[in-house]
Structure 1
Amino acid sequence: MLRQVQAGPAGRNLPLRSDQPAGATRLLLLVSLAHLISHVFILALPPLFPFLRDSLRVGFVELGLALTVFNVVSALVQTPIGFLVDRVGARRVLAAGLGLGGLALLSVGLVGTYAWLLVGAALAGLANGAFHPANYALLSAGMPADRMGRAFSLHTFAGYLGTAIAPAVLIGLALLGGPALALGVVGLSGVVLAGFILPMRVPAAAEGTGARKRPAGGAAAAGGPPVFSAAILSLTVFFTLLSLSTGGIQNFSVAALVSGYGVTLTQANAALTGFLMLSTFGVLVGGFLADRTRRHADVAAAAFAVTALLTLLVAVADLGIVGLMLALGAAGFLSGCIAPSRDMMVQAAAPPGGSGRAFGIVSTGFNIGGAVGPLLFGWILDHGAPRWVFGAAVVFMALTVLLALRDRLAAGRTAPRA
C-alpha cells in the first residue's frame, strides 16, 4: 500500500501515518530500545558507587547527591520538554535525549572528577526528561489503534528489562575495565541509537506539525481542549499514587520483611524478585487486555483492587515464606497488568496533537512519588513498624482505585452531553 503524504514546511513531504505493518514494527522496536536504554541510564551510577567512591575519594552521601541532582532536574524539565515535543517533533527530542544522556555518562567516565559527576548527573537528568513525552508521542501517532495497548505494553516491558539488566551490565563492564569503560559503553549505546532514530520516518502528528499550524486563536485553539485539564491533573495524581504504592514495595519491602516477618535476607530478596519479574510479564498480558476493551479505568481499578487485597494480606497475616512469595508475586503480576491501561487513559485524555505534553505532565507524578515515598517509608521503618510499609502501600492503592473509579464515573456523566 502506498504511503500518503502531505506537503510539509519548505516543500518537504511528511508521512500522514505509518500504516504499513513493517513501518509500525520498526517504530515500536526503536522506541522500545530507547526506553530500555533510558532505564539503563537511570541505573548507570548506583551499581558503580563502590568503584566511584574509591576513584573519586568521596563518600556515599556525596555520591547520593548525584542521584538527587539527576531526579530533581528530571522532574523540573519533563513537563516543558513535553511541550517541546509537540512543537518541534518527538523524533528530534528523543534523539537529542539519547545523545545527551549518552554523552553525559561518557563524559563522567572520561573526566573522572566529583564536580563533573554532578554536572554529568544534571545533564543526564535533563536527557531523562525527554524519554516519556517523546516515546509516547511517537507511539500514539505511529501505531495502529488496534495495536496500541500491546505497543504500550512492549514499550513498558522494555523499560523494565533495562532496569533488570543494568546492574549486571554495569558491574560486569566495570570489573573488566573500570567505571570509565562501563560508563563509556553504556553512553555510546545511546549515541549510536540516536543515530538510527534521527533519520527515522515517523507520522506527521509526531513531528510537531500541529504546532506549525497554530491558528490565530493561540495554543488552546490549536490543540482543542487545554492540556492542563481536570483529566490530566487527575491522572498526574493517579501516577503519583501508583509511584508511592509500588515504589514502597520495590524499595523497602526487603528491609520490612527482614525486620518484621522473621525471614532471611535471601528469602526477602527472592520475594521481591518474584514481585518484579511477574510485574514485568504482567505488563505484556495487560497489553492484550488494553486492546480488547475501551474501559481502561475499570481494568486498572479492578486489577489494583485485587493487588491491594493481596498486599493487605501480606501486611496483616503471617503467611510464611511460601505464602509471602505467592502473594507478592501475584500482586506484582496484577500491578504490571494495569500499566498499558494506565497509558491508554492518558492517551484518551490528551488533546489532539498533545500527547507529548500530556505524558510529560502526568509522568511528573512518578518523580513526585519517587521524591516523597522514600522519606515516608523510611520514617515508617525508623519507627519500628515494618508491616506498615505494606499497610501504607495498601492505602495508596485504595486511593488509586477510588480515583480511577471517580474518573470513570465522571467520564460517563460527560459522555451523553458530548
Structure 2
Amino acid sequence: MIRSASQGMREGRPLSSSQAPLNVVGEEAQSRPGSGQPAGTTQLLLLVSLAHLISHVYILALPPLFPFLRDRLQVGFVELGLALTVFNVVSAVAQAPIGFLVDRIGARRVLAAGLGLGGLALLSIGLVGTYPWLLFGAALTGLANAAFHPADYALLSAGIPKTQLGRAFSLHTFAGYLGTAIAPAVLIGLALLGGPGLALGVVGLAGVLLVGLILPMRVPAAQDGADARRRPAGSPTAAGGSIVTPAIVSLTVFFTLLSFSTGAIQNFSVAALVGGYGITLAQANAVLTAFLMLSAFGVLVGGFLADRTRRHGDVAAVAFALTALLTLLVAVADLGPVVLMAVMGAAGFLSGVIAPSRDMMVQAAAPPGGSGRVFGIVSTGFNIGGALGPLLFGWILDHEAPRWVFGAAVGFMVLTVVVALRDRWLAQRNSGAGTRGG
C-alpha cells in the first residue's frame, strides 16, 4: 500500500524526492493520469538543464573573445587572464554560502537570480567596454556562477523520482557539456558579426530572458521553504547541525581531484600534443574535440547505469581507472593521430560515464532539505582545481615536459579512484557496524 504524504508527515519522516509535490507551497501535488510522477517533472528537468547550458556559456563567454578584447581594451593576455582568476576566486568563495541560501529561501529564486545576475554582468561588460569594468563584471559573473550547481541539484533532487534521478543528473550534465561545446563558436561568430559587445550582449540577454521561464515554473514545495517545516525539530538540519561531515569533506576532495585531471586535458592537452607529439594544431584540436564530444555521450550512458545500481562509488572507480589506463598510454606511447584520437575519445567517454554516479554519491550524502548546501560545498572542489591546476600544468609546459601533462593527469585520476574506493569501503564498514549494533 502506498502511504499518503500527510501520513508520512504525521509520522515525522521527511518526504522522499519522489513524494515531494512539484508545485508551489500550499498547493496540492498534481499527477498525470496513469503516471507515477508528479506533474511538471519534465518541465522542471528541461528548464534546469537549459539553465545549466546557459551557465556553461557564461563560463566560456570571455576566453574566446580575448583576441577581440585585447585590441578593444588595449591590454595584454595576462591582464585578461586576471579576469578569469577573479571569476574563479569569487565563485569558489561564494558557492558554499549560496548553497545554504538555496536551502533557506528556495532554489528557484536563487537559480533565477544567478541567471539574471550573470546575464546583466555580461551585458554590462559589452556596453561599458573598459578594463576595470571587465574585472568587476567577471566578479559578478563568478558570483552568479556560484548559484547554479547548488540550485540545480537541489531542484532535481527534490523534484525527480529517485528511480529516475541518475538519468536526470546525466541530462543536466549533458546540457552543460553542450553549452561548453557551442560557446566558442557562438561567441566568435557573433563577435565577427558585430564585435565583442554584441556577442556578450546576446548571451547575457538569453540568460535574462530565461529568468522569465524559471520564476513561474512549478517547483518542489521543499525548495520553497516547506521542507524545513516538515522536518522534525530535532533533526540535524532543523537544529542547525553541522553539514560538514567526513563524507562531504571526502567528496570535496573527490571533486577537486576530478577538476585537476579533467582540467589538464581540457585546457592543456592541445599545447602538450603540439609540443611533444609531433602533430599539427588541427590534429590536436580534433583529439580534444573527440574527448569532449564522447564525454558528453558518456554522461548519458552513465545516467542509465546510475539508475540501475546503488554502487555509485564502484562505477566511478572502475570507469576512472580505465580512463587512467588510456591516458597513461597517451603519456608513454607514440601514437599516430588517428589512434590518438580513438584512445582519447574512449578516455573521454569513460570520464563522462562517472558524472551521474558522482552526483548520486553527493545526493546520498545530503541530509533531507540539505541538497543545496551540500552541492554548494562539494562544488568548490571544481573551483579549487580550476584555480590551482593551470599553475601546475603551465609550469610543466614551461619546463618543456609536455608528456607530463598527461602523466600528472593520470596521477590525479589514480588518487580519485582511491578516494572513491575508500568512501565505498567506509560506507560498507559503517553499514556493517550499524547492522551488528541493531
Aligned partner of 2:154 in structure 1 is: 137
Q: Distance in 2 between matches of 1:321 and 1:49?
A: 29
Deviations 1:359-378 (A, max 9, x none): 00000000011111111111
Taking the aligned partners of 2:39 and 2:346, their CA distance within structure 1 comes to 35
CA shift for structure 1 position 304: 0.5
Using the TM superposition, name which of 300-309 and 199-208 deviates more.
Answer: 199-208
Work out whether residues 14 and 203 of structure 1, in 8 Å CA contact, stay in contact via their aligned partners in 2. no
Structure 2 Cα separation of the partners of residues 28 and 410 of structure 1: 33
SS of equivalent residue, structure 1 residue 319:
coil
Q: Could you tell me which of 347, 356, 377 is aligned with 2:372?
A: 356
Confirm or deny: 8 A CA contact 2:29 2:38 kept in the other structure: no
Structure 1 residues without counterparts, runs of 5 or longer: none
The residue aligned with 2:18 is none
Instruction: Give the TM-score taking structure 2 as reference length.
Output: 0.90
Q: Match of 2:128?
A: 111
Q: Distance in 2 between matches of 1:382 and 1:127?
A: 33
Q: Match for 2:282: what amino acid? A: T
Matched, 1:175 2:192: yes
| Equivalent position of 2:346 in the other structure | 330
Give distance in 2, aligned partners of 1:223 and 1:396. 38
Q: Give the partner amino acid of 1:172.
A: G
Aligned pairs for 1:53-202 (under 5 A) are 53-202=70-219
Which deviates more from structure 2 when the two are superposed, residues 284-293 or residues 208-217? 208-217
Please name the residue that 1:390 is paired with: 406
- Identify the residue that residue 44 of structure 2 maps to in structure 1: 27
Do the aligned residues in 1 keep the contact of 2:237 with 2:368 (CA within 8 Å)? Answer: no
What is the match of residue 263 of structure 2? Answer: 247
Please report how far the alpha carbon of residue 163 of structure 1 lies from its aligned counterpart in structure 2 after TM superposition. 0.6
Against the structure 1 CA distance between its residues 330 and 12, is the aligned structure 2 distance closer, same or farther, given a 3 Å change threshold? Answer: closer
Q: Would the aligned equivalents of 1:98 and 1:193 in 2 still touch at CA under 8 Å? A: yes
Mapped to 2, the partners of 1:50 and 1:382 lie a distance apart of 22
Task: Select between 172-181 and 12-21 the one with higher mean Cα deviation.
Answer: 12-21
Q: 1:14, CA displacement in angstroms?
A: 4.4
Residues 221/332 of structure 1: CA separation in 2 closer, same or farther (3 Å cut): closer
Structure 1 residue 123, shift from structure 2 partner? 0.8
Distance 1:161 1:325 in 2: 20
Distance 1:221 1:365, change over 3 A: closer
Pair 1:13 & 2:26 matched: yes
Could you tell me how far 1:258 is from its partner in structure 2?
1.4
Specify which of 247, 251, 258 is matched with residue 235 of structure 1: 251
Q: Which moved more, 1:163-172 or 1:82-91?
A: 163-172
Q: Deviations over 1:158-201 (max 9, x none)?
A: 00000111111111112222222111111111111111111112
Per-residue Cα deviation, 1:202-237 (whole angstroms, up to 9, x for no partner): 1112223334567766x8351797420111110000
SS at match of 1:129: helix
Q: Which of 213, 223, 226 is equivalent to 1:206? A: 223
Counterpart AA for 1:255: A
* Alpha carbons 1:74, 1:129 under 8 Å: kept: yes
**How far apart in 2 are the matches of 1:139 and 1:225?**
24
Identity %: 79
Q: What is the distance in 1 between the residues matched to 2:164 and 2:238? A: 28
In structure 2, the CA distance between the partners of 1:313 and 1:413, relative to structure 1 (3 Å rule), is: same
For 1:221 and 1:261, the matched residues in 2 are separated by 53
Can you give the 5+ residue segments of structure 2 that lack an aligned partner in the other structure? 10-20
Describe how 1:300-339 pairs up with structure 2 within 5 A. 300-339=316-355
What is the RMSD computed on CA atoms of the aligned residues? 2.1
In the superposition, the TM-score normalised over structure 1's length comes to: 0.94
For the residues of structure 2 that align with 1:336 and 1:15, how far apart are their CA atoms? 38
Secondary structure class of the residue paired with 2:236? helix
The alignment covers a number of residue pairs equal to: 412
Pairwise CA distance, 1:46: 1.3
Q: Is the 8 A contact 1:235 1:346 kept in 2?
A: yes
Partner of 1:47: 64
CA distance in 2, matches of 1:37, 1:398: 32
